[in-house]
A and B are shown apart, each in its own frame.
Chain A
Amino acid sequence: MQKVKIKVAKLLIFSLGLFLLTYPFTSSQAEEAYRIGAIFAVTGPAAWLGDPEKKAVELMVQRINRQGGLLGKRVKVVIYDTYGDPQAAVLKARELITRDRVMAILGPSRTPTSAAVMKALQLDREENRFQVPLVSCAAGRILTKPVKPWVFTTPQTNALAAERIVSYLSEKGIRRVGIIYVSNEFGEDGYESLKGSAAKHRITIVGVETYGGKDRDMTAQLTKLATKGPQAIINWSVGPTSVIVTRNFKELGLDKKGILLVMSHGQGNIKYVQLCGKAAEGVILPAGKILVAEDLPNADPQKRVLLSFKEAYESAYHEPVSHFAAHAYDALMLVVNAIKRGKVRPGDGKGLKEALEQYCRGFVGADGVFNYTPQDHNGLSVQDLVMLKVKKGRFILIH
């Protein structure tokens, strides 16, 4: 008799433990509101992407609700952290849909996490079980080329940024270019895009080098590239590694050898300039207009939008607004715009998807003027990127 008692005790402990751990998550009753979910890499190796994105969305939802909400109803946003891990992104996306009953998901921040969510929830198929559109803040081509029915993206894709750089360089008569990129999804996609654009503009790539996300010294790779006689070196990376490349470039005195250092739109963040200190002087990069909002000509429709967002963000968080915050801002505002103009009812994911495809033409966002169509779920063009130069610690508009 005693033995049986233990068996039962063990069974109970095991099932109870499992159930208790999961029980507290049952969702609160969903009252009448527009429920929008968001998953960003708030912590972990890609925290510099997710953190500003989360802040931007929280800020704008507060403002919308303060100004009477959307079509008279409150906007409720649920934000989870994926720490940049694809498995966690899939789990959190599923949780947003099945438990929090959201009608749209903003994010994730990185291409692999976005691709994992797209595949797991079958968002690349027209008919899928969940009928919830994903508005990703990642720039990878896998999300938009060819178009995925339920996936939209807001950042300027690597292809656009690469095209902007290469066309600018060829305009300046630069024919020989070296490329160095970080061996992650952003770097690889950037390299592929640069190869495509360079071929189109008949620019020869004299050398290619890579480095790891955690590497802290790239003098070897830069020296090797310099020996190939490039007129410009393009670095494609995000985060601290780009600071190291910029510093090493200066230490090696490559700028004195007349080599131009070009960064990717991943460096669209004043913190990058602050971290590099004097080493960033003279570096050029493509970026969204948000970084030079004040210098934009008044006729530019984006100026008003950018200035109000920039002012709101910087007064709320006391840190300079970045490119990545702009991606999340656009993701939210595109959804809000589609709901408002398409009169989409709360919870109608399919209605929202169609509204995004119809009512987001010529929509003035922070990253540019969006033209979503059923065939193009990125909707941006090369004109949405401007060329900037770092001068005395600030970005100035040069093209």
Chain B
Amino acid sequence: MVNLIQYLFAGLTMGVIYALTGVGFNLIYNATGVINFAQGEFVMVGAMLLYTFQEVLHIPSPIALVLVVIGGIIVGLVFEHTVVKPLMPMGVITVIIGTIGASVVLRGGAMLIWGKDALAVSPLLSERPIFLFGAALNTQVLVVMAITALAVLFLWYFFSHTIVGRAIQACAMNPLAALLAGIPMEEMMALSFLLSGSLSALAGGLIAPITLAEYDMGTMLALKGFCAAIIGGLGNNPGAFVGGLLLGVMEGLSAGYLSSGYKDALAFLVLILILLWRPEGLISRGRGERV
């Protein structure tokens, strides 16, 4: 029985990471309709920045995390201005390739600044795990889970109950109508990137103690973050949170009971099955398409 709980905890550890990355995706997808392949790199930059602030400059972690978020905001805005805005008029495929190009630039830059070795970051709370029902759980996982839940709650409230939030959604749904309604498109887009950049950077800072910080940690994170976002229903933040946890737990259980070699294959198989039978995701309500 303890094993099952341990496998679940293993699943939760990775699950919260996928959830946070998935939410980051949704923010940009909601604002621009684009799947951002550089999202994994946003998270990586957050992790690296935390290493610099906390481990090199020895800034106490809460302040270091705030600086990381500011760093994330800068990355998000620069990314939107240099990559997304010039390429938007040329169609979705070109923008996707643009984000791929940007991810390569971010990776190359990080390699130059922080070098090629993995870097360790000490967790927020204590190093020692806590024991629930006989199974060990890394304290940092609880921190990440709490902050992710808070972020999703904030975003849910922001997008459904504030004017600015609804304005961003309007821009995504029907840019022309939003423009005619006098919504300043530029600022709305910038705000979404600001949110996504800061959240992903925060995510990087939070997961670094679990996964170590490495200049090429972004790619796999992006792929799994995709899966989380799609399982939950593209664009649906609470969906991404649950989708990420589901994905993580599934990986944990399959590593425990099936074969750990095929763990990732199972994750992507589930992704494809969901895409085929419930493209709108397990959690969100359906969205038909007018013929």
The answer to whether any beta carbons of A and B sit under 8 Å apart in the complex is: yes
* A277-B120 CB under 8 A given contacts A210-B260, A227-B3, A251-B129: yes
- Specify which of B17, B122, B255 lies most central, judged by the most chain A CB atoms within 10 Å of its CB: B255
A124 sits at the interface (CB 8 A): no
Q: Which B residues touch A43, using CB under 8 A? A: 111, 116
B246, chain A: closest CB distance, angstroms? 16
Say whether B10 faces chain A, with CB atoms less than 8 Å apart: yes
A216, B212: Cβ atoms closer than 8 Å: yes
Interface residues on A, range: 20 to 34
Docked complex Cα distance between A277 and B252 (Å): 25
A44 to B107, CA, bound (A): 10
A215 to B11, CA, bound (A): 12
Query: Is there contact, CB below 8 Å, between B127 and A277?
Result: yes
- Report A297 CB to chain B, min CB distance, Å: 32
> Contact check: which of A217, A252, A274 meets B120 at CB < 8 Å?
A274
Docked-complex contact B118 and A219, CB < 8 angstroms: no
- What's the Cα separation between A44 and B104 when bound, in Å? 12
A274 to B11, CA, bound (A): 27
- How many angstroms between the C-alpha atoms of A25 and B255 in the bound complex? 49
B62 proximal to A (CB < 8 A): no
Q: What string of 1s and 0s marks CB contacts (under 8 Å) between B121-162 and chain A?
A: 010000101000001101000000000000000000000000
A275 touches B261 (CB 8 A): no
CB under 8 Å from chain A, chain B span 238-268: 252-253, 255-256, 259-261, 263-264
Interface membership of B56, Cβ < 8 A = no
Task: Say which one of A238-246, A303-311, A384-392 lies at the interface with B.
Answer: A238-246
* CB neighbours of A219 from chain B (8 A): 6, 9-10, 13, 136
B216 within 8 Å of A (CB atoms): yes
Q: Are A243 and B118 in contact (CB under 8 A)?
A: yes
A223-B210 contact in complex given A183-B261, A253-B136, A277-B120, C-beta closer than 8 Å? no
Question: How far, in Å, is A190 (CB) from chain B's closest CB?
Answer: 15
Contact A45 B216 (CB under 8 A): yes
Inter-chain contact B252/A210, CB cutoff 8 Å: no
Chain B residue contacts of A214, Cβ below 8 A: 217, 219-220
Given known A-B contacts A45-B216, A223-B7, A252-B136, A210 and B261 have beta carbons under 8 A apart:
yes
CB-defined contacts of A251 to chain B, threshold 8 Å: 129, 136, 138
B3 touches A217 (CB 8 A): no
The answer on a CB contact under 8 Å between B136 and A275 is no
* Contact with B118, one of A51, A183, A224, A240 (Cβ below 8 angstroms): A240
Contacts of B117 in A (CB 8 A): 47-48, 271
Tell me the bound Cα distance from A43 to B116 in angstroms.
Answer: 7
Tell me how far the C-beta of A391 lies from the nearest C-beta in chain B, rounded to whole angstroms: 18
CB pair A275 B120 closer than 8 Å? yes
Say yes or no: B10 contacts A275, CB within 8 Å.
no
Taken together as a complex, chains A and B put the C-alpha atoms of A252 and B217 apart, in Å, by 25
Give, as a whole number of angstroms, the nearest-CB distance from B176 to chain A.
40
* B211 sits at the interface (CB 8 A): yes
Shortest distance between the CB of B195 and any CB in chain A (Å): 25
Closest Cβ of chain A to B94, distance in Å, is: 22
User: Which residues on A sit within 8 Å (CB–CB) of B2?
Assistant: 223
Docked-complex contact B14 and A212, CB < 8 angstroms: no
Q: How far is the CB of A56 from chain B (nearest CB, A)?
A: 15
Q: Which chain A residues numbered 23 to 71 have a C-beta less than 8 Å away from chain B?
A: 43-45, 47-48, 51
- Assess whether A217 is in contact with B264, with CB atoms less than 8 Å apart: no
| A337 to B2 CA separation, bound complex (whole angstroms) | 58
Q: Mark B6-31, 1 if CB is under 8 A from A, else 0.
A: 11011101100100000000000000
Residues of the B chain whose Cβ atoms lie less than 8 Å from the Cβ of A183: 261
A224-262 near B? 1/0 per residue, CB < 8 Å: 100100000000000110011000000111000000000
**Within A191-214, which residues are at the interface with B (CB < 8 Å)?**
209-212, 214
Whole-angstrom distance between the alpha carbons of A276 and B118 in the complex?
11
B41 within 8 A of A: no
Give, as a whole number of angstroms, the nearest-CB distance from B42 to chain A: 17
Q: Is the CB of B256 within 8 A of A223?
A: yes
- Check A220 for interface membership: any CB of B closer than 8 A: yes
Q: Is the beta-carbon distance between A51 and B261 smaller than 8 angstroms? A: no
Q: Which residues of B contact A48 (CB under 8 A)?
A: 116-118
Decide: B210 and A217 in contact? CB cutoff 8 A.
yes
Q: Does A221 contact B (CB under 8 A)?
A: yes
Asked if B280 CB lies within 8 Å of chain A CBs, one says no
Given contacts A251-B136, A274-B120, contact A217 B10 (CB under 8 A): yes
Smallest Cβ-Cβ distance to A44: which chain B residue = B216
Q: Which residues of A contact B138 (CB under 8 A)?
A: 251
Contact: B6 with A252, CB < 8 Å?
yes
The yes or no answer to A394 lying at the interface (CB within 8 A) is no
- A221 to B, closest residue via Cβ: B260
B80 at the interface (CB under 8 A from A): no
Q: A252 to chain B: which residues have CB within 8 Å?
A: 6, 136
User: Which residue on B lies nearest to A41, using beta carbons?
Assistant: B116
Chain B residues lying within 8 Å of A278, measured Cβ to Cβ, are 127
Q: Give complex CA distance A239, B220 in Å.
A: 16
**Do the beta carbons of A239 and B14 come within 8 Å of each other?**
no
Contact B3 A223 (CB under 8 A): yes
Minimum distance in angstroms from A171 CB to a CB of chain B: 31
Contacting residues, chain B, for A271 (C-beta < 8 A): 117
| 8 Å CB contact of B260 from A220, A253, A275, A277 | A220
B255:A220 contact, CB within 8 angstroms: yes
Contact between chains at B118 and A239 (CB < 8 Å)? yes
Could you list 4 further interchain pairs (A-B, Cβ under 8 angstroms) beyond the known A48-B117, A223-B2, A227-B3? A209-B260, A214-B219, A220-B7, A220-B252
A-B contact pairs, 26 of them (CB 8 A): A47-B111, A47-B116, A210-B261, A211-B255, A212-B264, A214-B219, A214-B220, A216-B17, A216-B210, A216-B212, A217-B10, A219-B9, A219-B13, A220-B10, A220-B11, A220-B253, A223-B7, A223-B10, A223-B135, A224-B255, A240-B212, A243-B212, A244-B211, A244-B212, A251-B136, A253-B136
Chain B interfacial positions (CB closer than 8 Å to A): 2-3, 6-7, 9-11, 13-14, 17, 111, 116-120, 122, 127, 129, 135-136, 138, 210-212, 214, 216-217, 219-220, 252-253, 255-256, 259-261, 263-264
